[in-house]
Amino acid sequence: MTAHASQSRVVSIILIAEAEERAAELRSQLALVFPRALVATADSQSFAGGKLPEGNVALIDGSPAVRTATDSLRLLRARGFDRPIVVVTPVPDDATLRAAIQSLGATSITRDEANPIALATALTAALDNDAAMSAELLQARRVFAAGQAALSLQHGINNPLAALLAEAQLLQLEELTSDQRASADRMVELCRRIVALVRRLDALVDG
């Protein structure tokens, strides 16, 4: 990830920092690599009881207020924020914050690493991963919809097909001319082909 590449990307960032000077520092770093980004700055108190800021990624400053950062991370997820979250962690690492990051699906970067390029890399990687997961979810939904369509088609065909096959087999037992028997045999053969196709649909739906 280069600074030039990140500058071309438009993102909406929720920046959560307890200290005003840290918020200003992080905003200035973000402006260098995401000059077109919409950055909504908040602290844990400002959105705890109010409306959650809008954004497609969140950046939480975890130093020095480690406990507050942990609470902010949990609160974001509890409030339904399902987009990527990147946490700037303190040095040395904090075990409680680290556990929250892992269990709540966030990623992290240490404060020592938090230069503009590293921030851009972490945020972009989180967004790219989120996009990949969204694409996988969309594909899963499409597969599910196809399976539902196959299931509906299967049920719609099975009953009339079984009745048609039974009638054709009964017709084979009658006294028929050679042409009529050939037609009856052909009907049975075609019905059995459709039965085989329906069984393939069964396997597709079950698989």
Q: Which CATH superfamily is domain 3-134 in?
A: Response regulator (3.40.50.2300)
Reported as type and span, the H/E element at residue 107 is strand 107-110
Tens digits of residue pLDDT in 114-154 = 778 888 888 888 888 776 656 655 565 666 666 667 677 77
Reported as type and span, the H/E element at residue 83 is none
Number of CB atoms found within 10 A of residue 199's CB: 11
The residues spanned by each domain of the chain are 3-134, 138-206
Beta bridge partners of 58: 14, 85
Rounded-to-integer distance, Cα 128 and Cα 157, Å = 43
Looking at residue 52, the DSSP 8-state letter turns out to be P
Rounded (10°) angle between helices 66-78 and 95-103: 20
Tens digits of residue pLDDT in 82-112 = 888 899 887 677 888 888 888 888 888 888 7
Q: Are 44 and 72 in contact (CB under 8 A)?
A: yes
Whole-prediction pTM: 0.59
Q: Give every CB contact of residue 150 below 8 A, 6+ residues apart in sequence.
A: 201, 204, 205
